[in-house]
Amino acid sequence: MSTGIRVRIRYYNVLRDAAQRSEETIAIPPGTTLRGLFRDVVSRIHPAVGEILFLQTGEISPYTRCFWNGAVAGDNDMDRPLQDGDEIHLFPAIAGG
The whole model's pTM is what? 0.89
CATH classification of the domain holding 48: 3.10.20.30
Between CA 40 and CA 38 the distance in angstroms is 5
Domain contains 20? yes
Distance of CA 88 to the CA centre of its chain: 6
Domain contains 84? yes
Domain contains 69? yes
Between CA 21 and CA 36 the distance in angstroms is 20
Residue 58 pLDDT? 84
Domain contains 85? yes
Domain contains 97? no
Q: What is the pLDDT of residues 33-85, one digit of tens each?
A: 999 999 999 999 999 999 999 999 988 899 999 999 999 999 899 999 999 99
Tell me: pLDDT of 97 over 70. Answer: no
Q: How many domains does the chain have?
A: 1
Beta bridge partners of 7: 26
Tell me: pLDDT of 96 over 80. Answer: no
Tell me: pLDDT of 19 over 80. Answer: yes
For residues 36 and 29, the answer to whether their CB atoms sit within 8 Å is no
Within 10 Å of residue 4's Cβ, how many Cβ atoms? 12
Domain contains 44? yes
Most confident residue range from 3-7, 28-32, 61-65: 28-32
